[in-house]
Structure 1
Amino acid sequence: MKIAQPVMQKRQAEIKSKFSGDPKKQQEELGKLMNEFGSPLAGCLPLIVQMPVLFALFATLRGSPFADVPYNINLKVLPQDQIAAIDPKPYKSPRHSIFITEKSHFPVIATIPNGTKLGTEESIKINLETTNGNSYSEVLSKYDNGSKFLPTWKVSKGSENLKVSQDGIVTAIKPGDATIEAKIPGLAAKSGFLFIKALGQVGFYVDGAINWDIAALVGAFGLTLLLSQVLSSQGMPANPQQSTANKITPVMITGMFLFFPLPAGVLLYMVVANIFQAFQTFLLNKEALPENLQKILDQQLLAKNEVITTSTSTITDKRLPFEPNSKK
């Protein structure tokens, strides 16, 4: 498609100009052009097919069992004279599926019967329970490894306004807003693959330490993307602008993943996909082009060589005034 694109665009412009007053004929001729060269969107098909896989993989690796599951509850502390006028509304968080074993999992939600507003010096309990109303701790007691999945509690914002115990009991200190985080460990949050420490791990620089496995995956993604683009441009007429873009694009995308990190498992998938794409491109380059595309490529290369030859000839013909046989 890269070979045919310049010619195709020129033909499209000619057809639109020639049949501007006859839309039906214009569409007919454009259809014939598409049949001759193929649809320009055909090259996007592999990417479109991969997108649902990437989204599903991203969502899977960001949650249980590959990552710890956080429940963030926003609370508001009010003065005692104001809290009396508040009509309490029960709170339920979004549910998350918690894996206890590879085959055993169940949905868990955080609930507060009296809502997310409390008065100063008042205490409330945040409950973790299944959607059937069973206590999370009671369900865990039925498993031998249940103690590994007990939640940890902390005040992630507004610690001056309230405090929380490891039993999920919140005590208000003074009026203000705060956020409580209850985090349930993921079953495979620490499970790795090959040199990767944890498939659900996100970020190459976390808590002051460099995750070299993530850094290696990001670097491998950039190198494999560059290799794929180099192979794609082989046999094409020289284009300095396209060559520069092919070099800059992998650097930009690689840098983006450093600031907008993805789970290690997603990066591994993308690296493997790039390797397969590069190998596929290598094999396709060995195949002979269709006759019409080969003819276009030969014409492009011939035109490029003629420009270079003409430029060289022009430079050679120009003589300095003091050279022999030069016109003064």
Structure 2
Amino acid sequence: MDFGIGFLSNNVMLPILDFFYGIVPSYGLAIVALTLVIRFALYPLNAGSIRNMRKMKIANPLMQKRMAEIKERYKDDPVKQQEEIKGIYSEFGNPLAGCFPVVLQMPILFALFATLRGSPFAETNLPVNLKILPQEAIEQVEQAPLTTKPSNIFVADGEHFQVSAVVPTGGTLAIGETTKVELRSVDNKSLDDLRIEYAEEGVDITPKWEITKGQELAEVQPDGTIKALAPGDITIQAEVPGLAADKGFLFIEKLGQIGVQGENGEIHWDILFMIVFFGLSLYVSQQITQGSGPAGDEKQDQQQAIAKFTPIIFSGMFLFFPLPAGVLMYMVIANVFQTAQSFILSREPLPENLQKLVDAQEAKQSRADGSGRGQLAFEPGSAKKTPTKATSGPKASAKNSVKIKPNSAGKGIEKADADKSDSKSNSEKKVSKKKA
């Protein structure tokens, strides 16, 4: 089950590819145009996902805190608990709302990916599964022609057909029996006839036959003829070359070239450059997305620290699981488009309730940055103290207080000392009167 990927590839992607190739006969430009058309068509869906992710990054810490409080408060009342949680979702949004646009566009992106991995940019494989039985057992089997699932094959520039592998005698062979696997289009034209019809194009689409399973049970000829040798299951495969696999575009040597290192050990610098550029664009896109919300949440900081390795991991995968250069070019263009879209959407104003959260978080962070140390003497609001020498004796007792430079604080202290002095003199006068 391909979830409609084959239908989208044959009925949407290839017609668009043919349209642009008809305007400018360059498969490289056709890939660029096809990628941009699909990306612009998916712009609204992708924008909704990015906006929701941006909102959730800001609101998620507060949402998690409030939901934990609600679950604790209404742990014995599930109905009330669900009502309160729905209220939170209505205020901040549902975290799963951004998943629907992603799921909706996945078949389209997979169809685009499958189109660029097939003809004319790469070889097309047509496998056939057969069973070999003893002569006495084959008589009990009802035979019927075997036809495999059709695949799109380009026979010339801008000309392609749906081609299947056909076994006229059926999928079961007797030991010693010989049969031929034919490649035919859905309108019953053989691939050999199509090769002759488009021979003037100078394109070689001669299939290469091989047994991929059960090599010791049968043998195959270059024309697809099979001879059964021993009982068992076998798989025979026809590999049809892609006519655009050896064509280049800009700095790309061959659109169908696979891997950073060639068979002779040479380095394919064009593929290496695209892999590195893909990783850099992914890193920039992450920085834009992560910088759209407040900092300070420990869980999000941990996630961001882990996400820093994502560009390295994804780029490294292309070294161990190589892709054709044309597919890498599509992925680089799509990622640059995604980065530009993320940057544009990060400039949009936030909803009022989320903007208040951002402002509050920034204010809290600012206070935290300033509260970790004491005030310095030169900072505004710091008290300036005048150092004094310690004295003793009658002179010291005659003094009521330390002298302070006259300022607003000093005047208050002097007034307090004067009040104490007046109170002391009054009490002394009362004592002298009583004695008299």
Moved more, 101-110 or 39-48: 39-48
Q: Report 1:191-230 matches (<5 A).
A: 191-205=247-261, 207=263, 209=265, 210-230=267-287
CA distance in 2, matches of 1:105, 1:289: 49
- Report whether the alignment pairs 1:178 with 2:241: no
CA contact (8 A) 1:96 1:109 kept: yes
Instruction: Quote the offset at 1:222 in angstroms.
Output: 1.7
Instruction: Decide which structure has greater helix share.
Output: 2
Q: Identify which of 303, 317, 326 aligns with 1:242.
A: 303
Q: CA deviation at 1:97?
A: 2.4
The reply on whether 1:298 has 2:359 as its aligned counterpart is yes
Q: Which has the larger radius of gyration?
A: 2
- Match for residue 278 of structure 1? 339
Q: Find the aligned partners of 1:39 and 1:176 in 2 and give their Cα distance.
A: 55
> Which among 118, 133, 136 is matched to residue 191 of structure 2?
136
Match of 1:325 in 2: none
| Structure 1: tracts of 5 or more residues without a match | 314-328
Q: Given the superposition, is the C-alpha separation of residues 200 and 274 from structure 1 closer, same or farther in structure 2, using an over 3 Å criterion?
A: same
CA distance in 1 between partners of 2:262 and 2:218 (Å): 27
**Is 1:158–1:179's contact at 8 Å kept on the other side of the alignment?**
yes
- More divergent stretch after superposition (211-220 vs 64-73): 211-220
Report the Cα distance in structure 1 between the residues aligned to 2:99 and 2:214, rounded to whole angstroms: 47
Equivalent residue number for residue 109 of structure 2: 54
Q: Who is 1:324 aligned against?
A: none
Question: Does structure 2 conserve the Cα–Cα contact (< 8 Å) formed by 1:161 and 1:178?
Answer: yes
- Over the aligned positions, Cα root-mean-square deviation in angstroms equals 3.4
When structure 1 is superposed on structure 2, of 17-26 and 113-122 the one drifting more is 17-26
Moved more, 41-50 or 151-160: 41-50
- The 2-side partners of 1:54 and 1:106 are apart by 23
**In structure 1, what is the Cα distance between the partners aligned to 2:171 and 2:242?**
26
**Which amino acid is 2:150 matched to?**
R
**What runs of 5+ residues in structure 2 fail to find an aligned partner?**
1-54, 375-436
Partner Cα separation in structure 1 for residue 85 and residue 172 of structure 2: 64
When the two structures are superposed, what TM-score results if normalisation uses the length of structure 1? 0.77
CA distance in 1, matches of 2:235, 2:163: 19
Corresponding residue of 2:244: 188
Once the two structures are superposed, residues 84-127 of structure 1 have per-residue CA deviations (whole angstroms, 9 ceiling, x without a partner) of: 55543432111122222344332222222222333444321112
Q: Which amino acid in structure 2 is aligned with residue 237 of structure 1?
A: A
Letter in 1 for 2:272: A
C-alpha distance 112-33 of structure 1, shift in aligned 2 (>3 A):
same
1: CA distance between counterparts of 2:108 and 2:257?
Answer: 19
Aligned counterparts of 1:103 and 1:277: Cα–Cα separation in 2: 30
Larger deviation: 222-231 or 283-292? 283-292
Which residues of 2 match residues 111-190 of structure 1 at below 5 A? 111-143=166-198, 144-145=200-201, 148-190=204-246
Contact 1:76–1:118 (Cα < 8 Å) also in 2: yes
- Structure 1 residue 165, shift from structure 2 partner: 1.7
CA distance in 1, matches of 2:114, 2:102: 18
Superposed counterparts of 1:60-75, under 5 Å? 60-75=115-130
Conserved? CA contact 1:57–1:266, under 8 Å: no
Residues 257 and 325 of structure 2 are in contact (CA less than 8 Å); yes or no, is this contact kept in structure 1? Answer: yes
Give the 3-state SS of the residue equivalent to 1:66 in structure 2: coil
Cα deviation, residue 59, structure 1: 1.7
8 Å contact from structure 2 (residues 278, 335) kept in 1: yes
Identical columns (%): 47
Can you list the C-alpha shifts for 1:227-285, whole angstroms capped at 9, x where unaligned? Answer: 11122233631454133122122222333344444444443333233323333444455
Residue 51 of structure 1 deviates from its aligned partner by 2.2
Q: Report the 3-state secondary structure (helix = DSSP H, G, I; strand = E; otherwise coil) of the residue aligned with 1:141.
A: helix
Aligned counterparts of 1:134 and 1:247: Cα–Cα separation in 2: 53
